[in-house]
Structure 1
Amino acid sequence: MATTGTAVDAERADLLAMLAKHRHFLRFTTRELTDEQAGRRTTASELTLGGLIKHATLVERNWVDFLVHGPAAMAGSGAMTEEGFAAWRQQFQLLPGETLAGALADYASAAGATDELVRALPDLNAAQPLPDRPWFQPGERWSARRVILHVITETAQHSGHADIIRESLDGAKSMS
């Protein structure tokens, strides 16, 4: 396939195409579900389909903020208090008053912002120091490219989770 533009343009297009593919699989697992079904736990985990959509939205927004503002964007995500842990768990649930349609619309909005930023980033090699967290190596820096790859990985991983949850819910399969 012939491409126009620079190698960086082609790389951005490849990254965005892969992210779009995994977003599709994640969204597809929620097809034809009611809000009640999207909020139902079907496995031993706390995960729900609506909650995974909410979590993927938060992941994209947090990493876009990191790319724009650096580690200061993650200032509030450090120590887990009891309240912080409860709030973290709620991102994996459809809460009263929340709808699957609303979660999907919010996800589409976050995805659009991510895509726009990836297209506009001046340099995929530009790196930011990661915040001091136990799950990051001390002093580690991630390039914009690595952040985008991380978002792709998270989305793909959660698409697999969603496929299992959906199959447990009603036997429907999304990825096989």
Structure 2
Amino acid sequence: MTTSSEKTDLLAAFAEQRELLLITVRGLTDAQATRSTTVSELTLGGIVKHLAQGEEVWTQIMVKGDGELPDGMLDMGQYRMAGGDTLPALLERYARAARATEEAVAALVDLDVSVPLPRTPWSPPEPEYWSVRRILLHLIRETAQHAGHADIIREALDGASTTAQR
């Protein structure tokens, strides 16, 4: 019996959550991707943009390990498609971010590598450190949570859902 490594298992779980999210944007136009269909202001394009930016930021935190605040980490515009954004471009950005995350994790000796978190307005007074494992788990949880949001938004948009499109 062959057993996969923890890295392989976590990256596979992460890829699975990304795939569930991507089902929600299949066949959409840019106009549909910018449409808010619930009382929330979240849109499908905004969710893709946020998750792409989140992966970029957290991968930078893992790789650099310097505790510096990455550009865009606190950018509240990451939740909305801007005038020049297109869904295909955001999807490509998300794919690039996923590849970068997977490459960064694969290059690590193990998941116990600990990195300082950037200082934010809500940070505790003392420096905080997370292992790469915890960062990956955070990203998986964040992706799963937003995949659920995206499923509801898509279902309200045109009746499609991840269950029906699998």
For 1:163, the equivalent position in structure 2 comes to 151
Matching of residue 141 in structure 1 with residue 136 in structure 2: no
- SS in structure 1 at match of 2:130: strand
Query: Which residue among 40, 43, 61 is the counterpart of 1:45?
Result: 40
Identity of aligned residues (%): 49
Query: Which residues of structure 2 form unaligned runs of 5+?
Result: none
Give the C-alpha shift of residue 68 in structure 1: 1.2
Q: How does 1:57-72 map to 2 (within 5 A)?
A: 57-72=52-67
For 2:11, the equivalent position in structure 1 comes to 16
For 1:2, the equivalent position in structure 2 comes to 2
For 2:89, the equivalent position in structure 1 comes to 102
The TM-score normalised by the length of structure 1 is 0.84
Query: Which residues of structure 1 form unaligned runs of 5+?
Result: 4-8, 79-83
Counterpart contact for 2:37–2:157, Cα < 8 Å:
yes
- SS in structure 1 at match of 2:67: helix
For 2:162, the equivalent position in structure 1 comes to 174
Q: How much is the aligned-residue C-alpha RMSD, in angstroms?
A: 2.0
For 1:151, the equivalent position in structure 2 comes to 139
Change (3 A) 1:134 1:97: closer
For 1:31, the equivalent position in structure 2 comes to 26
**Which stretch shows the higher mean deviation, 145-154 or 125-134?**
125-134
| 1:98-147 Cα distance to aligned partner (Å, 9 max, x none) | 11111101100110010111111123111122233354444331001111
**Which stretch shows the higher mean deviation, 157-166 or 135-144?**
135-144
Counterpart contact for 1:25–1:174, Cα < 8 Å:
yes
- Counterpart Cα distance in 2 of 1:136 and 1:21: 31
The TM-score normalised by the length of structure 2 is 0.89
